Amino acid sequence: MLKKERAHYILKELQRLYPEPPIPLDHKDPYTLLVAVLLSAQCTDERVNQVTPSLWQLADNCVDMASKEVEAIKAIIRPCGLSPQKSKAIKRLSEILIEEHEGQVPADMEALERLPGVGHKTASVVMAQAFGEPAFPVDTHIHRLAQRWGLSNGKNVAQTEKDLKKLFPKEKWNELHLQIIYYGREYCSARGCDGTICPICTTCYPKRKTPKITKKA
């Protein structure tokens, strides 16, 4: 298959498998989504969803969160890892939302990226999932699958994001990044497939006999 043919097949197959992919992080509004995505850095979505109900009991909006002590936030989010940095970021971004954005999460990529603890991927997730703006958040899992499927040879997630955006229709980006994540977890995980096992890998590369070595993000 040529790259465009692979992209077309993958898009159809993922749409068949996951026609309505749910957002994996539990949230109720842009603010709780923003905090949940921040917590998911180097942590599983499952663990974040176990922790956030207690965090929302403490504070589920930027005004209340800004009034809490960092230690109180840190005590709750400790199971998510990196709690010293994440707790400070959650408190400070809450203060900035009040000071600069009238207590609202801005629907603006650059403004989001300026918030503490919020990188490009986190901002992209919020733009896509909270505001429905076209974005293609690329994490290490999508980066790995894009290489296994011959869609990108990027050495980092930034290049992989550019490559995927060129290949797929803009109106599919938000749904597709979730579909790839779900497929990766179910069929093409880091240890569960090496580029020669899962249905998409074997269909795209039926003659591939040796494991696909992927570049780490």
Sign of the Cα torsion 139, 143, 144, 145 reads positive
Distance CA 56, CA 32 (A): 8
Please report the beta strands in 8-124, taking only residues with DSSP state E, as ranges in sequence order: none
Structural contact between residues 97 and 103, judged by C-beta atoms closer than 8 angstroms: yes
Buried b (16+ CB within 10 A) or exposed e, 70-86: eeebbebbeebebbeeb
The conformation of residue 188, written as its DSSP 8-state character, comes to -
Distance CA 10, CA 176 (A): 10
How is residue 92 written in tokens?
A: 């400070």
CA gyration radius for the chain?
A: 18
Catalytic positions, written as ranges = 121, 139
The conformation of residue 23, written as its DSSP 8-state character, comes to P
Element (H, E) at 117: none
